[in-house]
Structure 1
Amino acid sequence: MSKRLKILDLTHRLPGPLAGKILGDFGYEVIKIEDEKHKDPFLSGMFSDFDDSFEDWYRVLNEKKQILRLDFKSADIKAQIHQHLKDADGILLSLSPKLKEALGLDDASLKALNRAIAVVELEASKTHKKAMHDLNALALSGFLSLHVAHVDDQIVDPPFFPLAGIAFGQQVATQLLANLLAARDENKVVKSISYLYETTETILNPFWSANLQAQKRTKFLHNGAYPCYSLYRLKDGNYVALAAVEEKFWNDLVSLFNISLPLENRFDKDPKSFQIVSDRFAKMDTSEIENMTRDKELCLSIVRKI
């Protein structure tokens, strides 16, 4: 791009900073503005206090940004923010109504800028009024039902990756790009609100649609319905990730490893078919697999146990 567009990131935790990271990766200049006292909860406060891995998330999400810490209670804070607004092309917002007004980032103040600027504000939901985190959005949208479909344990670990928050961050970045184009075309402030819950439904629904949910289908290719697409343990404790779906890959796989499972059985849901593949890999270790597949195209990869 001929001019690095400038984005002000006034968000915290995961979705907004992820959106800012994505924009920074695209070459935009991203300035993350934080309160000098409270900073970001991933860096200072409850989240970082009980689990310091959040500090690593903060670092990775924000390492390409300029971090600017201001006293949000100072008498001239509006003027300080306005200085950065003068040449900003876009704003990511996740602030309380009271704080937005105090910083001069409420709707009336933004409209008074009277120029092209794109704004995306992050909120939890336009239909569910209770507070929520990533896990709640996954539950409310029905997708955790798939996660627990094949377990009966009293306590079930949530998915490690905060899928709803990640999808939300990507959606926010996309929405800001769309707003940038609209603001430039219309030469005015273009603001929209993105919602965690609604984004979760929009992004994830195509992969477990209402039709599939009504059928109560819970096993598919991507979560281990077929022996050609699964994880198998090796004798040294590592695993192989097998994705030999296509005919060529399957035929080459069974030939190389002497697996007695015909082509048509790669889509066999019978546990016996899984066991045949599992028994073969259980006798091998990582080095054997790597040596045998070094120059082969099999859609097979090593999963190293931590």
Structure 2
Amino acid sequence: MLVLELGTLIAGPFAGRLLGDMGARVVKIEDPGRPDPLRTWGQGERDGRRHFWTVHARNKESVTLDLRSEEGATIFRDLVSRADVVVENFRPGTLEKWGLGPGELHEINPGLVIGRVSGYGQTGPQAKRAGYASVAEGVSGLRHLNGFPDQPPPRMALSIGDTLGGMFAVQGVLAALVARATSGRGQVVDVALTESCLAVQESVIPDYDAAGVVRGPSGTRLEGIAPSNLYRASDGLWVIIAANQDTVFRRLCSAMERPGLAEDPRFVDHSARGIHQDEIDAIIADWAAERTAEQIRDTLDRAGVVVGPVNTVADVVRDEQFRARGMLVPHTVPGVDDTVLGPGVVPVLTDTPGQVGRGGAPEPGFDNDAVYRDLLGMDDARMSDLAARGVI
């Protein structure tokens, strides 16, 4: 399967990464003079390189092509005639302005699946607005749910709205490919960052519609779900204890040597514990404060209670479970004798597992020869001329 990835920054490249992880041939197309800014993102630097791009560029080939020029658009149309999927995350109307909208592309390749990620979607009164993940999180109400009551709603230290948009785009692309197997026709997969953030909000909308409940931030816990919270151990570390299911709560009470709590009318079932959440949290917090984090985890693991640490990345890269499942993978950097660790492939498939076969961070145009010669049959003279004129 051949995927052409357009666009920049996170949502589109993340969608392309997921497809590449599962075996698609992904060709990332960048403007010759304006490479993806994601190449310069990331908080850590080594030998003048940042590494956000390393992960999102894995399993991809990198070519340069000026889609704004008529000649570049013609070359893109030639690639489209051979492709299965196009993924893009430009502002709506951009491809149409270049004469490369879905109508034109489907004339060339009726079976093409076009994944389009934008701030607000391809239709509606706000479709033409620029949109980033941070604003999408706010517009969708997702940001309002984060943090603590009466404090400014913080963002997660990630562009989670972009990631959700990329994941929904891949879900839609795969569904469209399944549909194409029956109909023979491609279609447009229209993904909005705002809607992607809205889609993960569980019962927020029905809670409001049915009962007028405006859910808000609840700090380290979920209101009405107890006990499921952070508790500080005697060594200062935080431990997550999640025992909100009745059977698990009884096991927690036994492990704390307080079996009678499970029969206390305040805590006897899920609804009662939700009403008396502060009280049960205080009891568990007092118990945890007398034990180290390791003692808490060992005790509750033996009792069958759901428990875990709050790991930093330094803890994560040492985690034996992640390592055993191949979730910490060296990524090679083409042209450089170096590797950098990155996340593995999710999900794990038993018969056709994904892999990080090609490393990350190819330079812009690194694969021009492989793509333009092999796919389009260009010769040296043609490629030299196009490069000299800034088309590739």
TM-score, reference length from structure 1: 0.80
What CA distance in whole angstroms lies between the structure 1 residues aligned with 2:184 and 2:255?
62
Q: 2:53 is paired with a residue of what secondary structure?
A: helix
Q: 1:223 is paired with a residue of what secondary structure?
A: coil
- The counterpart of 2:278, out of the listed 262, 271, 276, is 271
What CA distance in whole angstroms lies between the structure 2 residues aligned with 1:299 and 1:93?
41
Return the structure number with greater relative CO, CA threshold 8 A, min gap 6: 2
Mapping of 1:108-147 within 5 angstroms? Answer: 108-125=103-120, 126-128=124-126, 129-147=128-146
Partner of 1:193 in structure 2? 190
Which amino acid is the alignment partner of residue 171 of structure 1?
A: F
What CA distance in whole angstroms lies between the structure 2 residues aligned with 1:40 and 1:224?
41
Give the structure with the higher percent helix.
1
Which amino acid is the alignment partner of residue 16 of structure 2?
A: G
Query: Once the 2 structures are TM-superposed, how far is the Cα of residue 108 of structure 1 from its aligned partner?
Result: 4.4
Query: Once the 2 structures are TM-superposed, how far is the Cα of residue 277 of structure 1 from its aligned partner?
Result: 0.6
Instruction: Indicate how the Cα distance of structure 1 residues 114 and 100 shifts in structure 2: closer, same or farther if over 3 A, else same.
Output: same
Partner of 2:11 in structure 1? 15
Partner of 1:34 in structure 2? 30
Query: Once the 2 structures are TM-superposed, how far is the Cα of residue 111 of structure 1 from its aligned partner?
Result: 2.7
Mapping of 1:1-306 within 5 angstroms? Answer: 5-44=1-40, 48=41, 55-72=50-67, 76-95=71-90, 100=95, 105-125=100-120, 126-128=124-126, 129-147=128-146, 150-153=148-151, 155-201=152-198, 203-212=199-208, 214-218=212-216, 223=222, 225-259=224-258, 262-263=261-262, 265-266=266-267, 267=273, 268-293=275-300, 295-304=302-311
Instruction: Indicate how the Cα distance of structure 1 residues 112 and 304 shifts in structure 2: closer, same or farther if over 3 A, else same.
Output: closer
Residues 68 and 98 of structure 2 are in contact (CA less than 8 Å); yes or no, is this contact kept in structure 1? no
Structure 1's unaligned 5+ residue stretches are none
TM-score, reference length from structure 2: 0.65
Query: Once the 2 structures are TM-superposed, how far is the Cα of residue 245 of structure 1 from its aligned partner?
Result: 2.1
Give the number of equivalent residue pairs. Answer: 295
Query: Once the 2 structures are TM-superposed, how far is the Cα of residue 59 of structure 1 from its aligned partner?
Result: 2.0
Cα offsets for 1:88-142 (capped at 9, x unmatched): 1111122367863687633343133144111122222133253222222222222
Query: Larger deviation: 31-40 or 185-194?
Result: 185-194
Residues 235 and 284 of structure 1 are in contact (CA less than 8 Å); yes or no, is this contact kept in structure 2? yes
Structure 2's unaligned 5+ residue stretches are 268-272, 314-392
Q: CA RMSD in A?
A: 3.3
Query: Once the 2 structures are TM-superposed, how far is the Cα of residue 222 of structure 1 from its aligned partner?
Result: 5.9
Residues 77 and 105 of structure 2 are in contact (CA less than 8 Å); yes or no, is this contact kept in structure 1? no
Percent of residue pairs identical: 20
What CA distance in whole angstroms lies between the structure 2 residues aligned with 1:98 and 1:6?
24
